[in-house]
Structure 1
Amino acid sequence: MHNQDFDKYQQAFADLEPFSSTDGSFLGSSLQAQQQREHMRTKVLLELEKVNQRLKSAKAKVTIRESNGSLQLRATLPIKPGDKDTNGTGRKQYNISLNIPANLDGLKTAEEEAYELGKLIARHTFEWNEKYLGNEALKKDFKTIGELLEEFENEYFKTHKRTTKSEHTFFYYFSRTKRFTNNQDLATPENLINSIEKIEKEWARYNAMRAISAFCITFKIEVDLSRFSKMPENNSRNIPSDVEISAGIIKFADYLNNRGNQVNPDVKDSWQLWRWTYGMLATFGLRPRELFINPDIDWWLNEENADMTWKVNKECKTGERQALPLHKEWIADFNLRNPKYLEMLAITISKKDKNNHAEITALTQRVSWWFRKIGLDFKPYDLRHAWAIRAHILGIPIKAAADNLGHSVQVHTQTYQRWFSLDMRKLAINQALSKRDEVELMREENAKLRMENERLKMEIEKLKMEMVYKRS
């Protein structure tokens, strides 16, 4: 997109602050996209009023109207071939569609076409040709998926404010649409549906649907993907216990002791940064990119940060928040406030374009690579799931846990409680039973104390009676 075009669309979004979805689901993303499309439509309609005012001042006898995402020319014209002259005037008002999209570029084109049509009307030279009959638009060939992918970014950001979040979202849509479709296929609803149907794995099919849905909305391809829109219920995960998490961090030091001597001096200490990343993910239940997008390192190391919260930047997936640790002792145990590791983080992200979605994604993929390298049998996101399950076991209210993880109660309930393994359920039940046993023990102790208290009262009464008897 040329800078001038980019500025035009992004300036239209200058007064919009996209609301932060606390729902990472397809629904949450769709609501954000809808908000931005409606904002841009409002801007286009306001600009349309100005265009029509200019046409009126120029006595062009043509106006422009918006209909279903397209712009039409409206004018009183000679009766169209095959149409009836109901008024007997030989003229009638028509809406002419020239397949012009209702966006800022389309307005410019529509205004030019309106002046051209106005001249034909003024000179009495208008004729119903292929262009004005709409036959040219009907004969328009479908483009290939590959051709539309080349235009995808330009068109997408005509209806979305460009931020770190929206860049990442677009990269998600673009990469998955490209991966799961054939570039040579025509961009027809049938071909796009066939691309999704060929995908065997449920989660891959669901993710492809999300991406292709955004692709179709951008290019106004009418297709019904609703039968693919249900989130899969099952997905195998290995959720680590607290003991396994503590054991896992030791594997980073084991790697240091077992690696060979052929190590690049420039990266020989890099394992410490990824161990720190591991500890932060486990302690706070963060999404990996929430450590790399504009981290507030000064706040994390500040002595005034008594609650030891990690500030998630507003450019992250679900907006800004302060995440609290669940096992605060892990901060000391895992040495998470060691300035050396934070300096390594600062240097690493300074080498990257912090607003480049691909580079941030590369960092998060690096985290996964290290998990595999040191032999962990769980993934970075499994630490987030473990945090959610641990919070549930500890009796933390769902709303508080969901807010701390930066998503809705609905997502928390539907997504995270699904991962309760047999071992986790045993742990939860045993802890609950243990608490019950503690309560029963306290009741027994209280009963014993009450009995002892009664016995002592009787002893005192007995002693009082004996004292009275001796005096008498």
Structure 2
Amino acid sequence: MAKVASVHPLDTSLTQVNQRLKAAKLGLQIERRGDRLNLRGTLPPRPGSPKLRPYQQRVPLKIAATKAGLKQCEQTAKIIAAQLLQNIFDWRDYLGPIAGLRMGGADLSSQIDAFEANFFAARSSETSAASLRTTWEKAYVPYLRKLHTTADRHPNLSLPEAIYATVQSTQANSRSRQICCTALAAFAEFLNLELPTDLKSFWGTYGTSQTQLRDLPSDEQILEVYDRLKNPRWKYVYGMMATYGLRNHEVFFCAPASGTGAKPSSDREIIVQETTKTGRHAVWPFYPEWVERFDLLNGELPRINTDLSTTTLQRVGQQVTTQFRRYEIPFSPYDLRHAWAVRTILMGLPDAVAAKMMGHSVQVHNRTYHRWMTHRDQQAAVQTALAKNKLSAPM
């Protein structure tokens, strides 16, 4: 027995609308699939398609099969037809998460929420959840909030105009300006929002070559500060950072290699855990003698919240910075890390090895730390090289 096609209450109206579209020669028709409406017509190949010429395809609008939905589909068909005529049709406007937002007329808050969801979903397989959360809260949230504030205060501005105004509200030639540009450019790209002027043009002169050289603590200064600290748990944090060049939060997420299943070359090797900013990596002490000097094999960490389901790497790290200020340490926690990096250079450790232990690229290592070698450091390196080789110049 032949199956009778189901009749939908909208079908009569749908036929009438399609007759109008056909009479206007728009090249598009509305189709109903269950309780959803889509468009169909000859369209350019989708992104990633091996085809080179336009062919019959469906635009997955997935609009509810109602009278209001039918009216919206008819209007969208006219817009797409105009885009095809002007050769500006872009599949990105009708595919992916942003398509639904545009069709639904989502406000800025909804767009930011969708951007956040996409940010985590797109990177979850390659970066730890804790690291992603830290990056999101530190590099995106402040500037998206600033954008929202700008848009609320100036409702007459278009979204591109609000983005430019937000960027220009940050300090020129600063790192915050650069991060703001990066965050809002990513947001605009997610929305498939065309910005007339590339945000990189607002970066200014900020960059590694313009950053102020640091006056890093000498080894003697590091020892002097350690000896005057009173709290044994924070002395342990300080010693670990000085000896292993760890980031603030990494002190709380590392362990001796012997206890992690790895095959350590010595009892001084440690493993920084996967949950940290740059993932799992091994680190060795420079100097090895400082392991005993600071009693690092027996030290205990401060009792702070490190449960990443209720806190973030950034908050853990901020507590280290707070304690440095409390104890009036005359340099920042990161200065210990930077001093460690320069120390490896002076001791002749290959840059690729040092960079891997620090959890970043060789390019970043060379661009950053080789610049910070002072005349004092250079003189020490020259003396070390001469003493090691003991070559005599020909007379």
TM-score by length of 2: 0.67
User: Where does residue 375 of structure 2 map in the other structure?
Assistant: 425
Distance 1:138 1:370 in 2: 47
Structure of higher CA gyration radius:
1
Letter in 1 for 2:222: I
User: Where does residue 106 of structure 1 map in the other structure?
Assistant: none
CA contact (8 A) 1:240 1:383 kept: yes
Letter in 1 for 2:117: N
Distance 1:128 1:317 in 2: 46
1:241–1:222 distance in 2 versus 1, CA, 3 Å: farther
User: Where does residue 192 of structure 1 map in the other structure?
Assistant: 163
Q: CA deviation at 1:411?
A: 0.8
- Report whether the alignment pairs 1:233 with 2:209: yes
User: Where does residue 313 of structure 1 map in the other structure?
Assistant: 273
Letter in 1 for 2:224: A
What does the per-residue CA deviation read over 1:313-364, in whole Å, with 9 as the maximum and x for residues that have no partner? 122222211111110111111111115x1xx45x53xx442245x4432221
User: Where does residue 165 of structure 1 map in the other structure?
Assistant: 131
Unaligned runs of 5+ in 2: 9-17, 28-39, 45-58, 81-100, 152-156
Unaligned runs of 5+ in 1: 1-56, 61-75, 86-91, 97-108, 121-125, 254-270, 448-472
1:138–1:439 distance in 2 versus 1, CA, 3 Å: closer
Q: CA deviation at 1:402?
A: 1.1
Letter in 1 for 2:183: A
Distance 1:310 1:437 in 2: 31
- Report whether the alignment pairs 1:362 with 2:362: no
1:116–1:242 distance in 2 versus 1, CA, 3 Å: same
Letter in 1 for 2:375: R
In the comparison of the two structures, how many residue pairs are matched?
320
Letter in 2 for 1:193: Y
More helix by share: 1
1:138–1:331 distance in 2 versus 1, CA, 3 Å: closer
Tell me the secondary structure at the aligned position of residue 240 of structure 1: coil
Bigger relative contact order, structure 1 or 2 (CA pairs below 8 A, ≥6 apart): 1
CA contact (8 A) 2:150 2:162 kept: no
Distance 2:245 2:72 in 1: 68
Tell me the secondary structure at the aligned position of residue 159 of structure 1: helix
TM-score by length of 1: 0.57
User: Where does residue 386 of structure 1 map in the other structure?
Assistant: 339
CA contact (8 A) 2:286 2:340 kept: yes
5 Å-filtered alignment, 1:49-448, equals 79=21, 82-83=24-25, 93=41, 110=60, 112-113=62-63, 129-134=74-79, 143-144=107-108, 146=109, 148-161=111-124, 163-178=129-144, 180-185=146-151, 188-200=159-171, 202-223=174-195, 224-228=198-202, 231-236=207-212, 237-253=214-230, 271-293=231-253, 295-296=254-255, 299=258, 305=264, 306-339=266-299, 341=300, 344-345=301-302, 347-348=303-304, 351-356=305-310, 358-420=311-373, 424-433=374-383, 435-436=385-386, 443=392
Distance 2:285 2:387 in 1: 28
What does the per-residue CA deviation read over 1:39-96, in whole Å, with 9 as the maximum and x for residues that have no partner? xxxxxxxxxxxxxxxxxx99x9xxxxxxxxxxxxxxx9764565478xxxxxx93559
Letter in 2 for 1:217: E
Distance 2:186 2:72 in 1: 40
Q: CA deviation at 1:114?
A: 8.8
1:361–1:430 distance in 2 versus 1, CA, 3 Å: closer
Letter in 2 for 1:130: Q
Identity across the alignment (%):
24
Letter in 2 for 1:197: Q
Distance 1:333 1:83 in 2: 84
CA RMSD of aligned residues (A): 4.2
Tell me the secondary structure at the aligned position of residue 395 of structure 1: coil
Distance 2:257 2:330 in 1: 33
